[in-house]
């Protein structure tokens, strides 16, 4: 017998006696990422969510489980911008130009990444990028340079993202028929190499290299074809034209002034990557619901309960215990509020742009392991236009030495993303394998930094929802 239990807005979840979600009591109102015409949720004998269906039995089927999907990425230099980079295992990071990273933070970290052996064109997390190459060249290369990584790794990708596959083909004058054939070959390689895989394709990005009517036509044709491949089951497609110039089809908006979304070529900058991530996040929500974590999450105060007096320069109010406010700055003020299940922070800038003003130790824990995934979940409540950076900075200890790992790295000159009020940024770092034989403790810092245009008197409010460290191995 079904029963109603819990609600989101006007939508109420309907559960069976086993406690499995089987539908909504008010399907006329959409749930997050779910179209309003869906009313019934199908489950298998183990209680795993299979999909949603309307009254006629048609709808979207969720591939795989509701846990984060093990993900691999493949493409040209645009995909290469999604690779973890840096000098040595202790300093690898994602860049601000990583669309997939930003999409992941907007979907409750629906994607997870395994540690694999790096190759010349693939990083240690299964992201392949062959700069300047067309798809036929990529197809001939990925067997040894990318697919072979997973033959000895612990786990086969559940999701493959084709991100940046055809931009060089279009720019080089490839015909629509030739691109259709090479894309079909890529799909065949991926589907035969990774049984049961779900594929997420990104349509070609607008580019200043589409400099003739013939190239623009080919771009439009292959984009329309890729969108037609979306079957709502195991192949999904995201449209990457969010910043295409409507007055000049095929090309990006902006070469000077603001906003500029690319490097004046084809590669998204931080602003462009985050804008495209919103589109990709909507697609990801169509085929995955994250209801469970694949790892054990540990924290001294996972959801920020308790209360103590705030600490730090120009800092007032209360904060969870035993978190540390730390820092502070003469360039502004911070008001902390311990919500006994959340940590609200209102930060005001008074004298101009400041750096690292709002860093604080959000959580720490004693652990034992060599592969760890620090995490933080942050909600932007208001003042998003003044925020330039939301990230975590985990500090680990091997029993003797403390050292830092940076999941995301801001470099001078990077363009800030455009955050929006209400965004929930969920950052789960990919498993970090360090040069240290074991790690005994993790101290996770949350960093919310204003952007360069934040005026004197500029203010923003954020809520820290959860923080800690996941033990992978």
* pLDDT at residue 229, as a whole number: 97
Q: Is 436 exposed, middle or buried (0-12, 13-18, 19+ CB in 10 A)?
A: middle
* pLDDT at residue 99, as a whole number: 95
* pLDDT at residue 385, as a whole number: 93
| Cβ neighbours of residue 212 closer than 8 Å, sequence gap 6 or more | none
C-alpha angle 394-398-400 in degrees, rounded to nearest 5: 115
* pLDDT at residue 297, as a whole number: 83
Within-domain flag for 59: no
* pLDDT at residue 430, as a whole number: 75
Same domain, 24 and 81: no
Domain boundary residue among 287, 306, 339? 287
Within-domain flag for 409: yes
* pLDDT at residue 54, as a whole number: 38
Q: Residue 245's Cα: distance from chain center in Å?
A: 25
Same domain, 277 and 186: yes
Within-domain flag for 144: yes
Domain residues for 35? 3-53
Within-domain flag for 62: no
* pLDDT at residue 234, as a whole number: 93
How far is Cα 304 from Cα 466, in angstroms, rounded to an integer?
Answer: 7
pLDDT tens for each residue of the chain, 473 residues long:
333 333 333 344 444 544 444 444 433 333 333 333 333 444 444 444 444 443 434 333 334 446 789 899 999 999 999 988 764 555 567 788 899 999 999 998 899 887 788 899 998 889 999 999 999 999 999 999 999 988 766 678 999 999 999 999 999 999 999 999 999 999 999 999 998 999 999 999 999 999 999 999 999 999 999 999 999 999 999 999 999 999 999 999 987 766 899 988 999 998 999 999 999 999 999 998 777 777 788 888 889 999 999 988 888 999 998 787 766 777 788 899 999 999 999 999 887 655 555 567 777 788 877 778 889 999 999 999 999 888 888 888 888 888 887 777 766 667 788 899 999 999 888 777 667 778 888 888 888 888 878 888 889 999 999 998 888 77
Within-domain flag for 170: yes
Give the total number of structural domains in the chain.
3
Same domain, 142 and 274: yes
How far is Cα 372 from Cα 432, in angstroms, rounded to an integer?
Answer: 5
Q: Quote the pTM value.
A: 0.80
How far is Cα 460 from Cα 473, in angstroms, rounded to an integer?
Answer: 37
Same domain, 8 and 94: no
Same domain, 37 and 76: no
Within-domain flag for 77: yes
373 with 429: CB under 8 angstroms? yes
* pLDDT at residue 20, as a whole number: 47
- Strand pairing category for 439-450 and 387-397: antiparallel
Same domain, 145 and 181: yes
Same domain, 207 and 277: yes
Q: Which H/E stretch holds residue 218?
A: helix 213-228
- Strand pairing category for 315-319 and 332-338: parallel
Nearest Cα to 444, choosing from 465, 461, 460? 465
Identify the bridge partners of residue 160 per DSSP, sorted by sequence position: 72, 199
Same domain, 257 and 406: no
- Any idea which residue has 């990708």 for tokens? 157
Same domain, 370 and 228: no
Same domain, 73 and 26: no
- Any idea which residue has 């074809």 for tokens? 225
How far is Cα 339 from Cα 291, in angstroms, rounded to an integer?
Answer: 24
Structure tokens, 212? 């003739």
Same domain, 251 and 116: yes
Residue 162's CATH number? 3.40.50.1110
Task: Strand 402-404: give its sheet, edge to edge.
Answer: 360-369, 439-450, 387-397, 402-404
Residue 455's CATH number? 2.60.120
How far is Cα 459 from Cα 462, in angstroms, rounded to an integer?
Answer: 10
How far is Cα 89 from Cα 284, in angstroms, rounded to an integer?
Answer: 29
- Any idea which residue has 């623009």 for tokens? 216
Phi, psi of 169 (to 5 degrees): -65, -45
* pLDDT at residue 36, as a whole number: 34
343 with 376: CB under 8 angstroms? no
Same domain, 283 and 300: no
How far is Cα 298 from Cα 469, in angstroms, rounded to an integer?
Answer: 5
């Amino acid at each position: 017998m079904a029963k109603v239990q819990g609600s989101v807005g006007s939508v109420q979840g309907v559960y069976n006696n086993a406690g499995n979600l089987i539908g909504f009591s008010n399907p006329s109102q959409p749930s997050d990422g779910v179209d309003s015409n869906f009313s019934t949720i199908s489950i298998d004998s183990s209680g795993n969510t299979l999909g949603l269906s309307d009254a006629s039995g048609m709808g979207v089927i969720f591939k795989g489980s509701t846990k984060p999907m093990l993900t691999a990425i493949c493409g040209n230099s645009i995909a290469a911008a999604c690779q973890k980079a840096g000098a040595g295992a202790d300093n690898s990071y994602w860049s601000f130009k990583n669309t997939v990273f930003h999409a992941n933070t907007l979907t409750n970290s629906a994607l997870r990444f395994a540690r694999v052996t790096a190759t010349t064109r693939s990083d240690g997390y299964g992201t392949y990028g062959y700069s300047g190459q067309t798809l036929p060249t990529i197809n001939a290369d990925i067997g040894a340079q990318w697919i072979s990584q997973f033959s000895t790794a612990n786990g086969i990708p559940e999701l493959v993202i084709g991100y940046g596959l055809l931009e060089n083909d279009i720019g080089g004058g490839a015909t629509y028929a030739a691109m259709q054939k090479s894309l079909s070959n890529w799909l065949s390689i991926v589907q035969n190499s990774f049984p049961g895989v779900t594929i997420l394709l990104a349509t070609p990005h607008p580019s200043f290299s589409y400099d003739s009517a013939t190239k623009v036509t080919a771009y439009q044709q292959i984009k329309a074809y890729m969108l037609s491949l979306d079957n709502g089951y195991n192949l999904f497609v995201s449209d990457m034209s969010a910043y295409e110039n409507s007055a000049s089809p095929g090309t990006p908006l902006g070469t000077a002034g603001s906003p500029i979304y690319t490097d004046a070529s084809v590669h998204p900058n931080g602003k462009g990557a985050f804008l495209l991530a919103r589109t990709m996040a909507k697609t990801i929500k169509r085929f995955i619901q994250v209801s469970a974590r694949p790892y054990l999450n540990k924290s001294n105060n996972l959801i920020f309960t308790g209360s103590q007096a705030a600490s730090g320069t120009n800092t007032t109010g209360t904060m969870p215990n035993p978190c540390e406010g730390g820092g502070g700055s003469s360039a502004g003020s911070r008001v902390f509020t311990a919500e006994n299940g959340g940590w609200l922070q209102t930060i005001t800038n008074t004298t101009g742009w400041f750096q690292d003003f709002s860093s604080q130790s959000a959580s720490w824990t004693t652990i034992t392991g060599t592969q760890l995934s620090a995490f933080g979940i942050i909600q932007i409540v208001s003042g998003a236009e003044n925020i330039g950076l939301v990230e975590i900075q985990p500090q680990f200890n091997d029993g003797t030495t403390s050292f830092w790992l940076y999941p995301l790295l801001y470099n001078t000159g990077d363009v800030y993303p455009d955050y929006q009020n209400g965004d929930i940024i969920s950052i789960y770092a990919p498993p970090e394998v360090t040069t240290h034989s074991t790690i005994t403790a993790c101290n996770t810092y949350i960093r919310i930094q204003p952007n360069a245009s934040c005026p004197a008197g500029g203010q923003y409010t954020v809520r820290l929802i959860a923080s800690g460290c996941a033990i992978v191995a």
